[in-house]
Structure 1
Amino acid sequence: MTERDGGGGNRIGSTETTFEIVHALQENGPSRLSEIAAELGLTESTTHRHLNTLCDLRYVSRDGELYQIGLRFVRLGRAARTRDAAYGMAKRYVRELAEETEERSQFVVEDHGIGIYLHVENGTKAVKAGFGVGRQIHLHSSSAGKSILAHYPRDRVDAIFDRWGLPALTENTITDRQQVYEELERVRDRGVAFNREEHVDGINGVSVPVKRDGSVLGALTVAGPSHRLNDERLEDELPDRLLAAANELELNVTYSSPDSSNDHMVE
């Protein structure tokens, strides 16, 4: 069994191992030491040391032989979601979109070239597709990701594709880089991005960017079954509602910034 505590280059191997253990617990739920070690290819002694440290720091809890994510992460998650006041403002619009469309609505931001779901709300007819807060997605295959990438400079888009690739998630996913560039150009021209079963089979989505000072902050999205989000609703009805929500959110973000006067706050 290979120990991985040494690390190489500018990376610290022991830190990397610690987070691999945390992610394994996140994905698998309560697990035994032997199960964690086997999944990650670690010796049980190494795994035990990391788990003991995490338990001492209260980032992992233990119940008998089972280890699980500690509740101390709740505070960290809240801090991440509220590190930018604008992120919190988006929650209201996500909720309103879900209520009005009766579908799933979300606010997605980019972090390290990956899309992160910061807010998710399900309308009364929403398909529970398992995309909750904190979900990470590839940007090229989602309408939210396209909305964000379309407003990035080409070198930044290239860097993201170089790092994460263009994996095919369904048979409709665009995996040719030139075709993705062409799709992003269309998104820039119309101000709206579409996902036609490119991320999940049977699910369509529509998204618009949310900007601050000319830069993309994130994207508002509505997604639902392809038989309900058909061409007419997907391309005509929903984009107008999303654009109106994004415009109002942008105004609130702009006029509630520290550099703006409260006299101009949009209520």
Structure 2
Amino acid sequence: MNDSNHQLATVRRTFEILELLWENDSLGVTELADHLDTHRSTVHAYLRTLEATGFVINVDGRYRLGFRFLEFGGRVKYRNRLFRASQTELTHLADDTGFTAVLTIEENGELVIAHIEDGQRSLQLGLYTGMRNPLHANASGKAILAYSSTEEIDQFFATRTLEAPTEHTKTDPDAIRDELAAIRETGYACDWDEQVIGMGLLGAPIIVAGSVLGAIGLVCPTNQVTDEDQRSDLAKRVKQSADIISVNYQYG
């Protein structure tokens, strides 16, 4: 193995350790070595290096992720122009509806939650900034996908496995393409029980100069979306927020 390959393998193993710590909250050296099927001494060397950087914390021999990640994540978020253009309007949307308003973006074929604002009637679903979901499995992702280019849509279906978080999730490419066409007609997307049973979601794309930059989503109980009148009112408000954010982005 040459130096270049060795460095790549080292970086990959570092992130495997970080992901294991994220999944398990905290682990000891032996536990990590068992997960990775490698020697304790090797794992310990990685952990000591990560501890020295502040990204991993040692508490009585058990290792967990440090808040250094929060520092990096906060910088990425607050430097993002779309977040800055969206923050105030997300608060207004959550206050007006009482539900959870989310700013989402697409990254590497996945939907990423960039910011969350809770309302007085918000569902407690464990959503968090940075959470990733399949684009095809919720309204915000479909809103982004619907306004992507034909080439980008074709590439998505050609390169992604369409997972089904629930039994209600659509995974047939033809059915999803039909839904994307309907979204382009109405200007918004909706779903219920596709990501979480009991959760409904409405999403509208944020479009600037003909390009979709992200989407605004409103998370609410399923019955708010299945009721046609409620859905119409909420969709109108979500589309209004997306339009306001688009103007803020361009001229704010």
Normalising by structure 2, what TM-score? 0.92
1:43 maps to 2:56: no
Residues 82, 88 of structure 1: 8 Å contact kept: yes
Q: Residue 56 of structure 1 aligns with which residue?
A: 52
1:94 maps to 2:90: yes
Q: Residue 213 of structure 1 aligns with which residue?
A: 209
Q: Residue 192 of structure 2 aligns with which residue?
A: 196
**What count of residue pairs does the alignment treat as equivalent?**
252
1:17 maps to 2:16: no
| Distance of 2:219 and 2:190 partners within structure 1 | 10
1:230 maps to 2:220: no
Q: Which runs of 5+ in 2 are unaligned?
A: none
The superposition leaves residues 20-71 of structure 1 with CA deviations (integer Å, 9 ceiling, x where unpaired) of: 2112222221221222232333432322221111111111111121111122
The 1:32–1:10 alpha-carbon spacing in structure 2 relative to 1, beyond 3 Å, is: closer
Match of 2:66 among 70, 83, 108: 70
Amino acid at match of 2:221: P
Single out whichever of 208-217 and 85-94 deviates more from structure 2.
Answer: 85-94
1:165 maps to 2:161: yes
Q: Using the TM superposition, give the Cα deviation of residue 227 of structure 1 relative to its aligned residue in structure 2, in angstroms.
A: 2.5
Single out whichever of 208-217 and 150-159 deviates more from structure 2.
Answer: 150-159
Amino acid at match of 1:50: Y
Amino acid at match of 1:168: A
Q: Residue 254 of structure 1 aligns with which residue?
A: 250
Q: Residue 122 of structure 2 aligns with which residue?
A: 126
Q: CA RMSD in A?
A: 2.2
| Distance of 2:93 and 2:109 partners within structure 1 | 26
1:140 counterpart SS class: helix
| Distance of 1:52 and 1:137 partners within structure 2 | 33
Q: Which of the pair is proportionally richer in helix?
A: 2
Q: Residue 151 of structure 1 aligns with which residue?
A: 147
Single out whichever of 128-137 and 41-50 deviates more from structure 2.
Answer: 41-50
Q: Residue 259 of structure 1 aligns with which residue?
A: none
Amino acid at match of 2:10: S
1:32 maps to 2:28: yes
The superposition leaves residues 93-125 of structure 1 with CA deviations (integer Å, 9 ceiling, x where unpaired) of: 222211111111101101111111111122111
Amino acid at match of 1:199: Q
Amino acid at match of 1:186: A
Normalising by structure 1, what TM-score? 0.87
Amino acid at match of 2:220: G
Q: Residue 116 of structure 1 aligns with which residue?
A: 112
Residues 7, 14 of structure 1: 8 Å contact kept: no
The 1:244–1:135 alpha-carbon spacing in structure 2 relative to 1, beyond 3 Å, is: same
Residues 115, 129 of structure 2: 8 Å contact kept: yes
Residues 127, 225 of structure 1: 8 Å contact kept: yes
Residues 205, 234 of structure 1: 8 Å contact kept: no
Q: Which runs of 5+ in 1 are unaligned?
A: 257-267
Q: Using the TM superposition, give the Cα deviation of residue 10 of structure 1 relative to its aligned residue in structure 2, in angstroms.
A: 11
1:84 maps to 2:103: no
% identity of equivalent residues: 29
The superposition leaves residues 196-220 of structure 1 with CA deviations (integer Å, 9 ceiling, x where unpaired) of: 2111111111010012221111110
